[in-house]
A and B are shown apart, each in its own frame.
Chain A
């Protein structure tokens, strides 16, 4: 084995790959060879570092130097300066946007300071395509401990005691779920990993599979041991080619090392894992729908009970957990339930991964202890609102969640608090909105998503959401009435109360939470015909400021509908009844004389 003196960790997550991190890696390899250091410095493609805003990321170890926004052109400089001469390349260091101080080590960055990485522990740390790196960092020792030292009952008890709850949305206690499945008697049982991440703005499951696929494999095997299943299935989005490829590699390696297959670690426990592909249906995040999809059918949910733990895949008892939930299992087994339950709040233990996005400075993937406040996440980790704008709202829980205001910024984040606040944990999307975002449009955006993704099986979701969307459209088109606001609320409640599955039962949340928290914006649309954020096109008015207008006639000539009139060298005028709000005049005006009102 070559003893490398230095490691160059290059982020291989999808975001960074999109920014040519593959090229960066190859450049490093070639250029190291040129200077004859290929045996001293190892170049490793890791999983996501999380700090996507600043990607591509390159980390130099053991110097612990964190380079951001690296381009393929920067590699030679890093080699010549840092590797050869031991000098940091200052212009690639992260600059704190507030203090303007350059920071070398990631742990000193606000983005990382408050993070606690359990599920993401190996992401950005190990090479996901090398099982030995995983083993080197304690990998498969939890499985080993289970097989040699723990009975299924005692392992499940550890999970129960840890307080781990499902990270996919609902927050059902994981240990309890395992225990229920264990108690159902059947020759054949299944462990299913739900990797069909569908929330449009959450990508933690993919990052884990890309950055640390073995943790999922290990956890599924542990689950199999605990519930008495020898077969596992990973249901993964076909749109995640990189995660699929990494998972496949990991499965092959695990088999080669005997960590999957017959008689694992010399025990009488055998376990195999197969991959199943999702095909683009958000509703398949619901476990019964997921199971139907794995069976080759339309991914429609069915009424529970029977629960999958009783009758799941092919009618057999099946335990379904999502990727992030599984990623928490091995550390709990190795470090103990007490360690895990010491993190977090009373009813929500451990950490949660969030995909932080939207109008925020530090977009990325973060893992924080339960109980952290939204303020800490948004202002400390997230670095505050982009371009110095005003914070308006943060949306959590994706299409099932709600939009929270300033008032909730100091609420500790956990399952129950978010629910009480009218939102939910969901899979962990966290989208920050600023003063320019129209909350009615945001609600409409989510409804459009739900509408697209509703399976259509039950009436409230199929037709109810369509009607909700139509009402919202009416409002953003400036045709809403006060009565529509009442209708929105009443229909939302019925849909929540009577839909078949979680998708329908939560689909009105974005509407209800915006009605609760941003009623004034709805009222402005309905009563005053105004969109306070200036986003709803139909409610905009292009107006010419007389003082600034030089009468150049450029707007007049560019208006496609002849709505502008005026004499040359005299202020022009826009006839609002004719204006189609195309914005052509606004774009053309050279004197900033046209304002949006």
Chain B
């Protein structure tokens, strides 16, 4: 996984402001990924801290991936997919909705700060929304500092 290698580059910044959060975005291929493309085409600027992982549907994202992401050293995870009703596979995001309401509760119960894990519906035409969601997410995470919880320090 390409994410594997660049995660090893420890941020040797000179001070807290030099620290750059690393955020993983699971983008559903049919909507959010298209939305991200649109944001790029329309030259909408957003911070470069996100790594986009394209998935066929937001329903494909397994809570194990989210847990593994925090272990591998990410500071925030966003699962983004089509609005309920727009899903290319018709019901994918309905399962996502239930599954990630519950996963968020479990992560909070474990002590992970709630803002670090978000789920958003971003359709293919909502380029600006993608930019706005990512920018806000990076701001929030930057304010919280690096995530030490569940991080694999070995």
- Whether both chains belong to one complex is answered with no
List residues of chain A with CB under 8 Å of any chain B CB.
none
